Chain A
């Protein structure tokens, strides 16, 4: 199979660096270029010494590498529409970060332009390629638990805003400045926008979709932020499954400009745990554990050293397979729309202080 000529664009997303090893090692890819959003992103990119040239102008990148077939859009949420348009107009396949857009009109326009261009557009929801999640899906599909009745899930992390400031900007993260609720000085665009995984996962596990959701925010742990960092959501799926989600930035961090060892203050900086109750039993699941642990440099704090972290390998494999074999990715724009709709409904619920019916397809 001819390797896919691939590039990265933006380089400001928190997941950017997680692609480097996979893009370099996978024989089915030829990583030819990167294009940073600005000088600062280029400087950070160059710290990792990938050996892949980095541009600041996408047109220049394409002029130098006209054979680019696919681009990973590793950028702030408010850049996605323009970048997708750039790719679609040129017939370049897209691997989009986890939030294509919160603006549903813009989102539908993305679906439209991708369909018209006939390109692959895969959404980066890497949990699908996590071996623990794979096992979880297998166990549930086996029917051992019976019909699922309830799911609780955490997707809790430190806050990446100090290294990736756009994630603390309502405009760059949510797409516009929308107050959380009357009388609340904060705006949409914080922890919720960073954590779509559990909202997506429950749909896969149950085969059902959202009916209603109620969400509430708590006082921020980080007073400087103008977006929410603590919230919870509870609701029901159409098949009756009850859920309770915690998508907060509830783990404090050192305010590093570039992610590095010692970033975390709480020992485990990222957790996706799922508890499932079925008619015939229950499961508790830690998607990122067990690991190895230390209390060494730089801060002598007890720290979880993530040991099994290869989601990006499977994700990229699927992307290449879809491009070369003209398939539709599991997580495509149309599928992901309901996940985004539910996240928007969470914000609406916070604003109203009441449960909200999740918008239909």
Chain B
């Protein structure tokens, strides 16, 4: 998997004149290994185009006075606590504020529901689950509610992600959503990983920011577990 991603990264590096680096598997996810031996945890969701666009909508004041994030993420066999930590990091990225309190309820490794409060007063709810059948595509939803406007990566009146192409043939029903011309052909889940590595190489200031954020994600996961175990809100 890393070989293909690194070939794609090399293509981008060559095209845009960006310094060397390699995608490697880390303990918590993919990392970027730099020639000096430093390893940067990759946070692919932070460069996923839909989230970049949502951040633009917030930072550009298309939404005014954000109040609440309503996020959901369900994937077959996933770890709902890790998924919640990832969604919380995404919310921190969009909110531009750290989390100061987490309350969570879990039901084994099947589900995890979290309420979080940010230092700037914003609120977030995160729903995660792992019981989608093995071959099901991951399902998620991200809604941002503000005094002026609501933004979402899901169209109004739809519950599930839409696709660019719907195909009905003798082989059955298939969907496709291709979003990246330069990396066309790479599996959907690998594209943000390559883009994340490229982003760090292009903007080295991201390295320290992401190392810190990855550290915070571990704290979110621990807080989720502790909150559920003790039935109490955890201050961070």
A290-316 interface mask toward B, CB cutoff 8 Å, 1 = contact, 0 = none? 111111110010100101101101100
**25 A-B contacts (beta carbon < 8 Å):** A25-B16, A131-B178, A131-B179, A132-B165, A132-B177, A132-B178, A135-B164, A144-B167, A283-B168, A290-B155, A291-B53, A292-B53, A292-B54, A293-B154, A293-B155, A294-B149, A294-B152, A296-B149, A302-B156, A305-B53, A305-B62, A307-B50, A308-B179, A311-B181, A314-B181
Identity of the chain A residue whose Cβ is nearest the Cβ of B147 in the assembled complex: A296
Residue B203 lies at the interface, judged by CB distance under 8 Å to chain A: no
CB distance from B228 to the nearest CB of A (A): 31
Identity of the chain A residue whose Cβ is nearest the Cβ of B17 in the assembled complex: A27
A276-291 interface mask toward B, CB cutoff 8 Å, 1 = contact, 0 = none? 0000111111110111
- Contact (A285, B164) CB under 8 Å given A131-B181, A134-B181, A135-B176: yes
Q: Which residues of B contact A (CB under 8 A)?
A: 15-17, 49-50, 53-54, 56-57, 61-64, 146, 148-156, 161-171, 176-182, 184
- Contact (A310, B178) CB under 8 Å given A135-B164, A289-B162, A295-B149: no
Asked whether, in the complex, the Cβ of A297 is within 8 Å of the Cβ of B148, the reply is: yes
- Contact (A296, B168) CB under 8 Å given A130-B181, A305-B53: no
Q: Which 5 A-B pairs have the closest CB atoms?
A: A296-B149, A281-B169, A131-B178, A294-B151, A296-B62
- Which residues does chain B contribute within 8 Å of A295, judged by CB atoms? 149-150
- Which residues does chain A contribute within 8 Å of B171, judged by CB atoms? 144
Residue A261 lies at the interface, judged by CB distance under 8 Å to chain B: yes
B62 interface neighbour in A284, A286, A294, A308, Cβ under 8 Å: A294
- Which residues does chain B contribute within 8 Å of A297, judged by CB atoms? 61-64, 148-149
Q: Which residues of A contact B (CB under 8 A)?
A: 25-28, 129-132, 134-136, 139, 144-145, 261, 280-287, 289-297, 300, 302, 305, 307-308, 310-311, 313-314
The distance in angstroms between the C-alpha atoms of A314 and B178, with both chains bound, is: 15
Asked whether, in the complex, the Cβ of B17 is within 8 Å of the Cβ of A290, the reply is: no
The distance in angstroms between the C-alpha atoms of A280 and B64, with both chains bound, is: 50
